[in-house]
Structure 1
């Protein structure tokens, strides 16, 4: 199943710099592992915001939930999820 996910990150300003750096390093490693596996298919930064649009390709809602709550930055995020369906006019065969 494909999902469009918007993630807005709100790291507290008073979080110690070394703690923030450690969380960000774990976040990068985790997200790149998911990208390499094909589960996190696309990620785009939103210009001027600490936010991204991502496309996930996962088995079901439960797998997506487990991935999202596993994000080291999860407790600092607002997340919006939209399930995606293949459009009948699409000429692509690999977008389901």
Structure 2
């Protein structure tokens, strides 16, 4: 199945810069290991758009929940189909 996820990310502004940098580095590493995921970043915003290929919504939910940035994101998930 194919899913579209929108993540509105709101990392606290007062977060220690070293902690923030580590959080984003761990998230980048997590994304680098992901298969079947295409990531797009909105310009000038803390918003990501993902296209995710997965067996079912449970797999997507688990994958998204394990992302280091998940606790700072409001996530909207939609099952989609590709038209040719």
TM-score of the pair, normalised by structure 1: 0.82
Residue correspondences, number? 84
Segments of structure 1 that go 5 or more residues without pairing to the other structure are: 91-96
Q: Which TM-score applies when normalising by structure 2?
A: 0.93
**Cα RMSD (Å):** 1.0
Question: What residue ranges of structure 2 are gaps of 5+ in the alignment?
Answer: none
Identify the structure with bigger relative contact order (alpha carbons < 8 Å, sequence gap 6+).
2
- Structure with the greater alpha carbon radius of gyration: 1
| Structure 1 partner of 2:76 | 80
Runs of 4+ in 1 over 2 A off after TM superposition: none
Structure 2 match to 1:49: 45
